[in-house]
Amino acid sequence: MEGSSSSRGVRKGAWSAEEDLLLRNCIQKYGEGKWHRVPLRAGLDRCRKICRLRWLNYLRPNIKRGEFKADEVDLIIRMHKLLGNRWSLIVGRIPGRTANDVKNFFNTHLKKIYFSKHISNRHRDNHREKAVPKTRRHCLNSSNATMVKNVVRPVPRKSPIDLMHQHHRNIQ
Protein backbone atom coordinates (compact mmCIF):
# COMPACT_ATOMS: atom_id res chain seq x y z
CA MET A 1 0.00 0.00 0.00
CA GLU A 2 1.84 3.03 -1.21
CA GLY A 3 1.27 6.18 0.84
CA SER A 4 -0.28 4.39 3.79
CA SER A 5 0.59 5.41 7.33
CA SER A 6 2.70 2.28 7.88
CA SER A 7 4.96 3.00 4.90
CA ARG A 8 5.51 6.66 5.87
CA GLY A 9 6.40 5.91 9.49
CA VAL A 10 3.49 7.81 11.01
CA ARG A 11 3.42 7.40 14.77
CA LYS A 12 0.40 5.80 16.41
CA GLY A 13 -0.69 5.44 20.01
CA ALA A 14 -0.70 7.76 23.00
CA TRP A 15 0.42 11.37 22.62
CA SER A 16 3.39 12.60 24.62
CA ALA A 17 3.49 15.96 26.42
CA GLU A 18 6.17 17.08 23.95
CA GLU A 19 3.89 16.32 20.97
CA ASP A 20 1.03 18.21 22.62
CA LEU A 21 3.31 21.22 23.09
CA LEU A 22 4.46 21.08 19.46
CA LEU A 23 0.86 20.97 18.24
CA ARG A 24 -0.21 23.84 20.54
CA ASN A 25 2.69 26.01 19.35
CA CYS A 26 1.89 25.27 15.71
CA ILE A 27 -1.79 26.20 16.15
CA GLN A 28 -0.85 29.41 18.00
CA LYS A 29 1.56 30.39 15.25
CA TYR A 30 -0.45 29.42 12.14
CA GLY A 31 -4.04 29.18 13.45
CA GLU A 32 -6.61 26.44 13.04
CA GLY A 33 -7.24 25.04 9.60
CA LYS A 34 -5.19 23.67 6.72
CA TRP A 35 -4.74 20.49 8.73
CA HIS A 36 -2.79 18.82 5.92
CA ARG A 37 0.10 21.20 6.68
CA VAL A 38 0.03 20.92 10.49
CA PRO A 39 2.12 17.73 10.94
CA LEU A 40 4.97 19.13 8.80
CA ARG A 41 4.84 22.61 10.35
CA ALA A 42 4.73 21.22 13.88
CA GLY A 43 7.39 18.59 13.26
CA LEU A 44 5.06 15.73 14.21
CA ASP A 45 5.06 12.19 12.84
CA ARG A 46 1.26 12.04 13.01
CA CYS A 47 -1.36 12.15 10.28
CA ARG A 48 -3.39 15.32 9.77
CA LYS A 49 -6.67 13.78 10.94
CA ILE A 50 -5.19 12.72 14.28
CA CYS A 51 -3.66 16.20 14.76
CA ARG A 52 -7.03 17.82 14.08
CA LEU A 53 -8.88 15.49 16.46
CA ARG A 54 -6.26 15.94 19.18
CA TRP A 55 -6.65 19.71 18.96
CA LEU A 56 -10.46 19.74 18.78
CA ASN A 57 -11.11 17.16 21.51
CA TYR A 58 -8.27 17.67 24.00
CA LEU A 59 -6.01 20.68 23.52
CA ARG A 60 -8.27 23.60 22.64
CA PRO A 61 -8.13 26.15 25.48
CA ASN A 62 -11.92 26.71 25.72
CA ILE A 63 -12.84 23.05 26.32
CA LYS A 64 -14.86 22.49 29.47
CA ARG A 65 -13.77 19.43 31.45
CA GLY A 66 -15.32 17.63 34.39
CA GLU A 67 -18.82 16.74 35.52
CA PHE A 68 -21.82 17.61 33.41
CA LYS A 69 -24.23 19.97 35.17
CA ALA A 70 -27.91 19.08 35.56
CA ASP A 71 -28.99 21.65 32.96
CA GLU A 72 -26.44 20.26 30.47
CA VAL A 73 -27.73 16.72 31.05
CA ASP A 74 -31.33 17.84 30.59
CA LEU A 75 -30.41 19.68 27.38
CA ILE A 76 -28.53 16.65 26.02
CA ILE A 77 -31.56 14.42 26.64
CA ARG A 78 -34.03 16.85 25.08
CA MET A 79 -31.80 17.50 22.06
CA HIS A 80 -31.16 13.77 21.59
CA LYS A 81 -34.92 13.13 21.52
CA LEU A 82 -35.27 15.86 18.91
CA LEU A 83 -32.15 15.26 16.78
CA GLY A 84 -31.05 11.69 17.49
CA ASN A 85 -27.31 10.95 17.32
CA ARG A 86 -26.36 14.18 15.58
CA TRP A 87 -23.77 15.07 18.21
CA SER A 88 -22.25 18.07 16.44
CA LEU A 89 -25.67 19.74 16.30
CA ILE A 90 -26.35 18.93 19.96
CA VAL A 91 -22.95 20.30 21.00
CA GLY A 92 -23.72 23.58 19.26
CA ARG A 93 -26.13 24.29 22.15
CA ILE A 94 -23.63 23.38 24.91
CA PRO A 95 -20.71 25.82 24.95
CA GLY A 96 -17.29 24.44 25.85
CA ARG A 97 -18.15 20.76 25.35
CA THR A 98 -16.93 18.64 22.46
CA ALA A 99 -19.08 16.30 20.39
CA ASN A 100 -16.84 13.45 21.50
CA ASP A 101 -17.36 14.23 25.21
CA VAL A 102 -21.14 14.57 24.87
CA LYS A 103 -21.42 11.37 22.81
CA ASN A 104 -19.29 9.42 25.29
CA PHE A 105 -21.20 10.82 28.29
CA PHE A 106 -24.54 9.92 26.70
CA ASN A 107 -23.47 6.42 25.73
CA THR A 108 -21.88 5.59 29.10
CA HIS A 109 -24.32 7.27 31.52
CA LEU A 110 -27.60 8.39 30.01
CA LYS A 111 -28.21 5.61 27.51
CA LYS A 112 -28.05 3.02 30.29
CA ILE A 113 -30.48 4.95 32.46
CA TYR A 114 -33.12 5.90 29.91
CA PHE A 115 -33.10 3.03 27.48
CA SER A 116 -32.46 -0.07 29.55
CA LYS A 117 -35.35 -2.39 30.34
CA HIS A 118 -34.16 -2.83 33.92
CA ILE A 119 -34.57 0.84 34.82
CA SER A 120 -37.82 1.34 32.93
CA ASN A 121 -39.37 -1.80 34.47
CA ARG A 122 -38.30 -0.77 37.97
CA HIS A 123 -39.63 2.75 37.34
CA ARG A 124 -42.91 1.37 36.03
CA ASP A 125 -43.31 -0.90 39.08
CA ASN A 126 -42.57 1.94 41.50
CA HIS A 127 -45.05 4.38 40.02
CA ARG A 128 -47.84 2.10 38.80
CA GLU A 129 -48.49 3.99 35.59
CA LYS A 130 -51.92 3.75 34.09
CA ALA A 131 -52.37 3.74 30.35
CA VAL A 132 -54.65 6.34 28.83
CA PRO A 133 -56.39 4.94 25.75
CA LYS A 134 -56.91 7.21 22.77
CA THR A 135 -58.82 6.37 19.65
CA ARG A 136 -58.12 7.36 16.05
CA ARG A 137 -60.33 6.66 13.08
CA HIS A 138 -58.78 6.00 9.68
CA CYS A 139 -60.76 5.97 6.45
CA LEU A 140 -60.03 2.88 4.38
CA ASN A 141 -61.53 4.25 1.20
CA SER A 142 -64.14 6.72 0.01
CA SER A 143 -67.01 4.54 1.22
CA ASN A 144 -68.31 4.60 4.80
CA ALA A 145 -65.99 1.77 5.92
CA THR A 146 -63.72 2.86 8.78
CA MET A 147 -61.18 1.15 10.97
CA VAL A 148 -60.70 1.97 14.65
CA LYS A 149 -57.20 1.74 16.03
CA ASN A 150 -56.50 2.05 19.75
CA VAL A 151 -53.38 3.92 20.69
CA VAL A 152 -52.12 3.52 24.26
CA ARG A 153 -50.01 6.30 25.71
CA PRO A 154 -48.53 6.19 29.23
CA VAL A 155 -49.01 8.90 31.81
CA PRO A 156 -45.97 11.24 31.82
CA ARG A 157 -43.03 10.00 33.90
CA LYS A 158 -40.60 11.81 36.15
CA SER A 159 -38.17 14.19 34.51
CA PRO A 160 -34.93 12.67 33.16
CA ILE A 161 -32.88 14.55 35.78
CA ASP A 162 -34.97 13.13 38.66
CA LEU A 163 -34.64 9.65 37.18
CA MET A 164 -30.86 9.99 36.87
CA HIS A 165 -30.54 11.17 40.49
CA GLN A 166 -32.75 8.30 41.65
CA HIS A 167 -30.54 5.85 39.73
CA HIS A 168 -27.37 7.24 41.32
CA ARG A 169 -28.91 6.98 44.83
CA ASN A 170 -29.80 3.33 44.19
CA ILE A 171 -26.23 2.55 43.10
CA GLN A 172 -24.71 4.03 46.26
State the pLDDT at residue 112: 76
From residue 73, alpha-carbon distances to 82, 83, 100, 129 in Å are 14, 15, 15, 25
Is residue 73 domain-shared with residue 49, that is, in the same domain? Answer: no
d(CA 91, CA 75): 10
What's the pLDDT tens digit per position in 151-163?
Answer: 455 555 566 667 6
Q: How many structural domains comprise the chain?
A: 2
Is residue 23 domain-shared with residue 54, that is, in the same domain? Answer: yes
Instruction: Name the more confident of 77 and 123.
Output: 77
Least confident of 66-80, 105-119, 121-135: 121-135
Is residue 38 domain-shared with residue 93, that is, in the same domain? Answer: no
pTM greater than 0.95: no
Q: Which CATH number do you get for residue 146? A: 1.10.10.60
Is residue 134 domain-shared with residue 172, that is, in the same domain? Answer: yes
Burial category of 135 from C-beta neighbours within 10 Å (exposed 0-12, middle 13-18, buried 19 and up) = exposed
d(CA 60, CA 119): 37
What's the pLDDT tens digit per position in 16-53?
Answer: 999 999 999 999 999 988 899 999 999 999 999 999 99
**CA nearest neighbour of 63 among 102, 12, 106:** 102
Is residue 78 domain-shared with residue 107, that is, in the same domain? Answer: yes
Instruction: Name the more confident of 44 and 167.
Output: 44
The domain of 156 spans 65-172
Is residue 84 domain-shared with residue 40, that is, in the same domain? Answer: no
Residue 17 Cα to chain centre, angstroms: 27
Chosen domain end from 13, 43, 59: 59
Is residue 71 domain-shared with residue 55, that is, in the same domain? Answer: no
Instruction: Name residues whose C-beta falls within 8 Å of residue 76's C-beta, 6 or more positions apart in sequence.
Output: 68, 90, 94, 102, 105, 106, 110
Is residue 103 domain-shared with residue 122, that is, in the same domain? Answer: yes
